[in-house]
């Protein structure tokens, strides 16, 4: 199978790779580029563990072909911390015990980030809706919802 | 993974490439990449079109043209498509809605394809290079159609005449037990003068509830008067059985939910 060049921005830095045609973005990120923060769960679009932000929109990297991402701005959980300081969402997930096995966490955080970017003060219903495509088998969701609400509060306090 | 993706700037060129065996059209990827990930070896090659016209929503003179690449998210957030928004929001979670397209939904096998159920009730027209066909015909022939659907036309629905309901076990988002869309015109005294009802999960693709539509004509939307329509709702259905629900269960609850939708 012929390889095709793919070039995009990942968490602010330029990446260029040759991938086999038909390679998913998830595979390219994890196995070619080495960003293992998006997780491969169901590969069916059901679990949300592979969620990444492409050009500001939440998408599933397992159902996105890498070669359709030419020139895109891709954000993953691995790029959230700055200078060793965790992103408010990451901090809130830790503080609220919103992570148990951790497999769903990067997808949850990406879904929550898109929400907070657009709706800085979300209601509980907004949070539930924003996370509705992400499955967690450990926490029962409540700590995750509380973490996202806490991160929103922390953001608005910092902004005040 | 051995998928070859071919990218075209025009639908015409892509239509030619799509004739090759094992070739499927790539819209948002939520159907074909999913199939490939699952090990569907019948998909060996994918074709996509980058024409930005396919992603446009054009509203003029009471008509809405949804490009085939328009996503569920784009419909859900469009200020002039509030009547369609509940059906678009019924599809998947936020990430899926950012990917799943109008064109793809026409091909989604049950229990998926909730938006196509709405398009069926709205008597949409599917536009291809070969011409325009009613969505009902398009859905019936979709297994053999090879021309790329480029857009869907619908008469802009009024919020008060269009109703949509999706039933799922998981809240707020889950796979359909069933979905129902109804376009109802009422006389000033509340009598139904025209009815068009689309059903999801009642066959392998969206179908109309023809007997119920007929039974509704001349009725007022009261529990007594709609009873014959509810009794007729199961005529001609062949519900799917999957891990969400059995065909028996779906057939049993259909009249219940149709009643709730009509009396809402």
Q: CATH code at B106?
A: 3.30.465.10
Give B213-222 pLDDT, tens digit per residue: 999 999 999 9
> Tokens 């090759």 appear where?
B20
Q: How far apart are CA B79 and CA B259, in angstroms?
A: 29
Mean pLDDT of the residues in chain B: 96
Q: CATH code at A17?
A: 3.10.20.30
**For residue A1, pLDDT beyond 70:** no
Helix (H) or strand (E) holding B258: helix B247-263
* Count of domains forming chain B: 3
How far is Cα of residue A24 from the mean position of the Cα atoms in its chain?
A: 16
Same domain, A17 and A72: yes
Six token digits for residue B255: 């009249």
pLDDT band at B173 (very low <50, low <70, confident <90, very high): confident
Closest CA to B234 of B196, B202, B195: B202
Same domain, A111 and A141: yes
User: By CA distance, what is B91's nearest residue in A?
Assistant: A133
> Tokens 């997808």 appear where?
A107
ipTM associated with this complex: 0.95
Q: How far apart are CA A18 and CA B111, in angstroms?
A: 37
Same domain, B139 and B57: yes
* Count of domains forming chain A: 2
Domain that holds residue B59: 53-155
Contacts of A118 in chain B (CB under 8 A): none
Tell me whether residue B225 is exposed, middle or buried, using C-beta atoms within 10 angstroms of its C-beta: 0 to 12, 13 to 18, 19 or more. middle
Between chains, do B172 and A128 touch, taking CB under 8 Å as contact?
A: yes
Interface residue of A19, A20, A45, A137 to substitute, partner B, most B CBs within 10 Å: A45
pLDDT for res A63: 98
pLDDT band at A156 (very low <50, low <70, confident <90, very high): confident
- DSSP for B55-123 reads G-EEEETTEEEEETT-BHHHHHT-TT-TTTHHHHHTSS-HHHHHH-BHHHHTTPPTTS-HHHHHHHHTT
pLDDT for res B12: 94
Last residue of a domain, one of A30, A62, A79: A79
Instruction: List the single residue in B3, B30, B73 with the smallest CB-CB distance to A63.
Output: B30
Give B55-102 pLDDT, tens digit per residue: 999 999 899 999 999 999 999 999 999 999 999 999 999 999 999 999
Q: Is B49 on the interface with A (CB under 8 A)?
A: no
Contacts of B29 in chain A (CB under 8 A): 63-65, 68
**Residues recorded for chain A:** 160
pLDDT for res A157: 84
Same domain, B30 and B72: no
Same domain, B172 and B83: no
Sequence-distant (≥ 6) Cβ neighbours of residue B24 within 8 angstroms: B18, B32, B35, B43, B45, B46, B47
Contacts of A55 in chain B (CB under 8 A): none
Between chains, do A21 and B92 touch, taking CB under 8 Å as contact?
A: no
Q: CATH code at A92?
A: 1.10.150.120
Same domain, A8 and A72: yes
Same domain, B62 and B35: no
Instruction: List the single residue in B37, B92, B98 with the smallest CB-CB distance to A57.
Output: B98
Q: How far apart are CA A61 and CA A85, in angstroms?
A: 26
**For residue B228, pLDDT beyond 90:** yes
Q: What is the mean pLDDT of residues A53-78?
A: 98
User: By CA distance, what is A1's nearest residue in B?
Assistant: B2
Interface of B with A in 180-209 (CB under 8 A): none
Q: Is B47 on the interface with A (CB under 8 A)?
A: no
pLDDT for res A160: 64
Same domain, B170 and B245: yes
Domain that holds residue A146: 88-159
Q: How far apart are CA B165 and CA B188, in angstroms?
A: 25
Q: What is the mean pLDDT of residues A81-89?
A: 95
Give B100-135 pLDDT, tens digit per residue: 999 999 999 999 999 999 999 999 999 998 899 999
């Amino acid at each position: 199978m012929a390889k095709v060049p793919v070039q995009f921005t990942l968490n602010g830095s330029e990446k260029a790779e040759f991938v086999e045609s038909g390679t998913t973005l998830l595979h390219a990120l994890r196995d070619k580029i080495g960003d293992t923060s998006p997780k491969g769960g169901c590969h069916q679009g059901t679990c949300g563990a592979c969620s990444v932000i492409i050009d500001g929109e939440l998408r599933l990297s397992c159902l996105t072909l890498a070669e359709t991402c030419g020139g895109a701005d891709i954000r993953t959980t691995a790029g959230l911390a700055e200078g060793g300081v965790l992103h408010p969402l990451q901090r809130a997930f830790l503080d609220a015990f919103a992570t148990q096995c951790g497999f769903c966490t990067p997808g949850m955080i990406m879904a929550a980030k898109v929400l907070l970017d657009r709706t800085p003060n979300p209601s509980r219903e907004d949070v539930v809706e924003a996370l509705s495509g992400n499955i967690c088998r450990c926490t029962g969701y409540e700590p995750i919802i509380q973490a996202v609400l806490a991160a929103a509060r922390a953001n608005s306090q910092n902004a005040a | 993974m051995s998928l070859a993706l071919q990218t075209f700037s025009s639908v015409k060129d892509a239509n030619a490439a799509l004739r090759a065996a094992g070739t499927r059209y790539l819209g948002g990827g939520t159907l074909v990449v999913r199939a490939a990930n699952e090990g569907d070896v019948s998909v060996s090659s994918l074709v996509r079109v980058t024409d930005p016209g396919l992603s446009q929503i054009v509203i003029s003179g009471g008509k809405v043209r949804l490009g085939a690449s328009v996503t569920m998210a784009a419909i859900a957030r469009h200020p002039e498509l509030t009547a369609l928004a509940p059906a678009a929001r019924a599809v998947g979670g936020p990430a899926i809605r950012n990917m799943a397209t109008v064109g793809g939904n026409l091909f989604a096998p049950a229990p998926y394809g909730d938006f196509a159920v709405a398009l069926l009730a709205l008597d949409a027209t599917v536009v291809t290079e070969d011409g325009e066909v009613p969505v009902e015909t398009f859905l019936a022939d979709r297994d053999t159609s090879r021309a790329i659907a480029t857009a869907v036309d619908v008469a802009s629905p009024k919020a008060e005449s269009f109703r949509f309901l999706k039933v799922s076990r998981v809240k707020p988002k889950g796979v359909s037990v069933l979905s129902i869309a109804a376009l109802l015109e009422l006389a000033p005294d509340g009598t139904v003068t025209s009815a068009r009802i689309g059903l999801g999960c009642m066959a392998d693709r969206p179908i109309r509830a023809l007997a119920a539509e007929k039974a509704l004509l001349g009725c007022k939307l009261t529990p007594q008067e709609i009873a014959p329509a509810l009794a007729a709702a199961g005529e001609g259905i062949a519900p799917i059985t999957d891990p969400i629900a059995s065909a028996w269960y779906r057939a049993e609850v259909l009249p219940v939910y149709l009643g709730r939708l009509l009396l809402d």
